């Protein structure tokens, strides 16, 4: 006799089999739910695809997400452009490159209204010269240099004040085979006043072109240039004492200085009081190596104050990932490429700076109001979570980054437990926990210590149902399961949404499931038909607040 229950039972289903008709096969040959196109667009704009993943190369993931952008553009081009602008301007993404690429695609779309909206949005998304060069490189793959594109580039230059444009011209000189000289020659912006005319002439031809007459027979003089440009030119030949004065009075950055002075501690000390927040993060190792950031020094006090200034972090759009990546490199005392270069920069980390970076990471997120519910913070530490990088930052794998994300919630919510899981085929720790173990970490620990702890855990397969199974087996009361994962689950005997349903019934608790996606894949373990399940994006600065308010 046929056992019909064995053939069609739907209460529990292996993860490598479909449990619902609307499930799709993920990259690991398990089954999950498909994200809609605009959710995938948001995830990619924030997380990027640098480094690829365990199951897909960077090229494959980028091509796949480019198709997602195309789908969104075809479905609603204006909404797509609006999404690109919103994520770029809000500082929700660690890097602007995905937004630049997506905007370039929109600028070459078949729909005229979409193209127009994308080109009008260029100054909002491409905020620096480097962004503009990225856009020029990308857009050539999607369209030719017609009038609309030339006008958009000319507008980018024309809308900037002389001070802003002068800063861009000497800080971001060239990238990706493009320079400001190239783009000005292509776009032909018309100067509206003498200072603008002098700047355009200077960018295209340097100081030699300033004294030449323009087409109307009127000379453009050096005194028409902004003071920053004049200081930059003088700095090329200035002795050290004069250079120090020029740096202090005109806020010259290291990109604007002659190479001969870039390893001088006094020059860096002169730059420090006005150093932009992003540049501060990027040059902590350099300043430490030069002996400027010694313990209890004036420079160290200034740096640690700046790193923990919430308002400065907000104004500079400093993303938590940038801080975490800086911490990850700074505490090692050398850059990621140090092993391949004999003369690579190295330093002895200043503990005051390390502590400030720990605090700065949490300050970079939006203010979080605790929900005071019971949270189970579950970190996927399977093999796939150790592949790829978050937004391309060296060494910052999804596995490490998820631990940092979890601590932002743990520091706020008084009722929480933290566990690590992989799959039931492996064991954790002395108690032989099958596939899952409580993590011996505390929100009072330094973040860098927590990252080291998680990074040393063993690897295994992926079973995202384990947190719910473990909580039910041990009768742990949970209001919110928060699972940090790449959603490539495949190894379990029961799907995660089924395990949550079983937990709710056995424990008589309407527990919620929040899935924090740590890579830009197309999948989620959250059932879209369950209003008490939510899929959100890892390392979006708004994520910790969403976790507590859901």
Which residues on adjacent β-strands are paired with residue 417? 376
The listed range with the strongest mean pLDDT (244-253, 329-338, 433-442) is 244-253
Residue 220 located in a structural domain: no
When pLDDT is cut at 50, 70 and 90, the band that residue 337 belongs to is low
Residue bearing the bigger pLDDT, 222 or 152: 152
- Map residue 521 onto helix, strand or coil: coil
Residue bearing the bigger pLDDT, 491 or 10: 491
When pLDDT is cut at 50, 70 and 90, the band that residue 11 belongs to is confident
Pairing verdict, β 512-517 and 480-485: parallel
What range does the domain containing 174 cover?
37-189
What digits encode the pLDDT tens for the residues 452-489?
888 888 888 999 999 999 999 999 999 999 999 999 99
**CA pair distance 285, 464, nearest whole angstrom:** 38
Which residues on adjacent β-strands are paired with residue 516? 484, 536
Assess whether 44 and 185 both reside in one domain.
yes
pLDDT value at 200 more than 50: yes
Residue 203 located in a structural domain: no
pLDDT value at 543 more than 90: no
pLDDT value at 256 more than 70: yes
Q: What percent of the chain has pLDDT over 70?
A: 92
What digits encode the pLDDT tens for the residues 391-422?
778 778 889 889 888 888 888 888 999 999 99
pLDDT value at 10 more than 90: no
The pLDDT assigned to 497 comes to 95
What is the number of structural domains in the chain?
4
Please classify residue 261 by burial: count the beta carbons closer than 10 Å to its beta carbon, then call 0-12 exposed, 13-18 middle and 19+ buried. Answer: middle
Q: Considering only CA atoms, give the Rg of the chain.
A: 26
Q: Which of 363, 391, 417 is at the close of a domain?
A: 363
Assess whether 408 and 358 both reside in one domain.
no
Structure tokens at 541: 């600065």
The pLDDT assigned to 539 comes to 79
The pLDDT assigned to 6 comes to 42
Assess whether 428 and 482 both reside in one domain.
yes
When pLDDT is cut at 50, 70 and 90, the band that residue 424 belongs to is confident
**CA pair distance 330, 367, nearest whole angstrom:** 26
Please classify residue 154 by burial: count the beta carbons closer than 10 Å to its beta carbon, then call 0-12 exposed, 13-18 middle and 19+ buried. Answer: middle
500 phi and psi angles, rounded to 5 deg: -70, -40
Quick one: DSSP state of residue 51? Answer: T
Q: What percent of the chain has pLDDT over 90?
A: 66
The pLDDT assigned to 142 comes to 95
CA 140 to chain centre: 25
Assess whether 98 and 176 both reside in one domain.
yes
Assess whether 379 and 524 both reside in one domain.
yes
Assess whether 414 and 518 both reside in one domain.
yes
Residue 415 located in a structural domain: yes
The pLDDT assigned to 61 comes to 79
The pLDDT assigned to 51 comes to 63
Assess whether 387 and 525 both reside in one domain.
yes
- Alpha helix locations (H) across 316-397? 320-330, 351-363
Contact, 234 vs 222, CB < 8 A? no
The pLDDT assigned to 125 comes to 97
When pLDDT is cut at 50, 70 and 90, the band that residue 9 belongs to is very low
The pLDDT assigned to 429 comes to 53
pLDDT value at 151 more than 90: yes
The pLDDT assigned to 7 comes to 38
Residue 130 located in a structural domain: yes
What digits encode the pLDDT tens for the residues 44-81?
999 887 666 656 677 787 888 899 999 999 999 999 99
pLDDT value at 183 more than 70: yes
When pLDDT is cut at 50, 70 and 90, the band that residue 342 belongs to is very low
The pLDDT assigned to 53 comes to 64
CATH number, residue 450: 3.40.50.410
Assess whether 496 and 394 both reside in one domain.
yes
When pLDDT is cut at 50, 70 and 90, the band that residue 336 belongs to is low
Residue 368 located in a structural domain: no
Assess whether 430 and 535 both reside in one domain.
yes
pLDDT value at 155 more than 90: yes
Residue 303 located in a structural domain: yes
Assess whether 185 and 239 both reside in one domain.
no
Assess whether 279 and 253 both reside in one domain.
no
Rounded mean pLDDT of 501-514? 96
Residue 31 located in a structural domain: no
Angle between helices 320-330 and 398-410 (to 10 degrees): 110
Q: What is the DSSP secondary-structure string of 111-161?
A: -HHHHHHHHHTHHHH--SHHHHHHHHHHHTTT----HHHHHHHHHHHHTS-
What digits encode the pLDDT tens for the residues 203-255?
999 888 776 655 555 566 778 899 999 999 999 999 999 999 999 999 999 99
Q: Which of 260, 285, 317 is at the close of a domain?
A: 260
What is the H or E stretch that residue 428 is in? Answer: strand 427-428
- Average pLDDT of the residues of the chain: 89
The listed range with the strongest mean pLDDT (44-58, 290-304, 417-431, 432-446) is 290-304
Assess whether 494 and 411 both reside in one domain.
yes
pLDDT value at 379 more than 80: yes
The pLDDT assigned to 443 comes to 81
Task: Please state, in angstroms and as integers, the Cα–Cα distance from residue 77 to each residue in 37, 42, 151, following that order.
Answer: 13, 15, 21
Rounded mean pLDDT of 262-266? 95
Q: Which of 299, 330, 363 is at the close of a domain?
A: 363
pLDDT value at 338 more than 70: no
Lowest mean pLDDT among 123-137, 483-497, 531-545: 531-545
Residue 61 located in a structural domain: yes
Task: With CA atoms as reference, report the closest residue to 370 among 415, 311, 314.
Answer: 415
């Amino acid at each position: 006799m046929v056992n019909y229950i064995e053939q069609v039972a739907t209460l529990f289903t292996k993860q490598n089999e479909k449990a619902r008709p609307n499930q799709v096969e993920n990259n690991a040959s398990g089954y999950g739910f498909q994200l809609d196109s605009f959710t995938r667009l948001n995830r990619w704009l924030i997380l990027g695809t640098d480094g690829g993943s365990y199951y897909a190369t960077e090229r494959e993931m980028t091509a796949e997400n480019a198709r997602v952008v195309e789908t969104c553009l075809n479905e609603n081009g204006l909404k797509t452009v609006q999404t690109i602008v919103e994520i770029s301007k809000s500082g929700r993404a660690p890097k602007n490159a995905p937004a630049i690429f997506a905007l370039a695609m929109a600028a070459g779309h078949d729909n005229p209204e979409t193209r127009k909206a994308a080109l009008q949005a260029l100054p909002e998304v491409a905020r620096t010269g480097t962004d503009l060069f990225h856009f020029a490189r990308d857009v050539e793959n999607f369209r030719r240099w017609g009038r609309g594109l030339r006008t958009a580039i000319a507008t980018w230059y024309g809308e900037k004040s002389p001070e802003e444009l002068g800063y861009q011209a000497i800080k971001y000189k060239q990238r990706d085979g493009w320079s400001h000289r190239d783009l000005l020659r292509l776009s032909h912006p018309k100067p509206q006043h003498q200072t603008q005319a002098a700047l355009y002439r200077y960018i295209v031809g340097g100081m030699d072109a300033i004294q030449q007459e323009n087409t109307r027979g009127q000379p453009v003089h050096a005194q028409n240039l902004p003071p920053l440009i004049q200081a930059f030119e003088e700095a090329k030949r200035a002795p050290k004492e004069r250079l120090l004065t020029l740096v202090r009075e005109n806020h010259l950055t290291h990109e604007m200085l002659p190479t001969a002075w870039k390893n001088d501690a006094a020059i860096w000390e002169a730059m420090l009081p006005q150093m932009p927040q992003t540049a501060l993060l990027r040059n902590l190792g350099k300043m430490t190596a030069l002996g400027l950031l010694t313990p209890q020094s004036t420079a160290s006090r200034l740096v640690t104050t700046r790193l923990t200034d919430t308002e400065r972090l907000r104004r500079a759009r400093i993303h938590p990932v940038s801080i975490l990546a800086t911490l990850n490199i700074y505490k090692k005392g050398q850059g990621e490429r140090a092993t391949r270069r004999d003369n690579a920069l190295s330093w002895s980390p200043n503990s005051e700076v390390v502590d400030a970076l720990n605090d700065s990471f949490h300050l970079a997120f939006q203010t979080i109001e605790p929900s005071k519910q019971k949270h189970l913070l579950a970190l996927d530490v399977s093999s796939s979570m150790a592949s790829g990088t978050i937004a391309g930052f060296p060494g910052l794998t999804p596995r490490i980054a998820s631990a940092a994300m979890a601590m932002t919630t743990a520091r706020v919510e008084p009722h929480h437990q933290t566990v690590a899981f992989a799959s039931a085929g492996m064991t954790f720790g002395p108690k032989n926990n099958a596939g899952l173990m409580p993590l011996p970490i505390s929100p009072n620990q330094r973040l860098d210590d927590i990252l080291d702890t998680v990074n040393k855990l063993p690897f295994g397969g992926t079973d995202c149902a384990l947190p719910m199974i473990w909580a039910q087996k041990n009768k742990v009361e949970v209001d919110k399961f928060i699972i940090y994962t790449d959603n490539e689950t495949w190894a379990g005997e029961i799907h995660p949404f089924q395990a949550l349903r079983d937990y709710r019934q056995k424990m008589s608790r309407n527990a919620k499931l929040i899935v924090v996606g740590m890579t830009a894949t197309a999948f989620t373990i959250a059932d879209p038909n369950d209003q008490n399940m939510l899929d959100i994006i890892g390392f979006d600065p708004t994520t910790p607040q969403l976790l507590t308010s859901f």
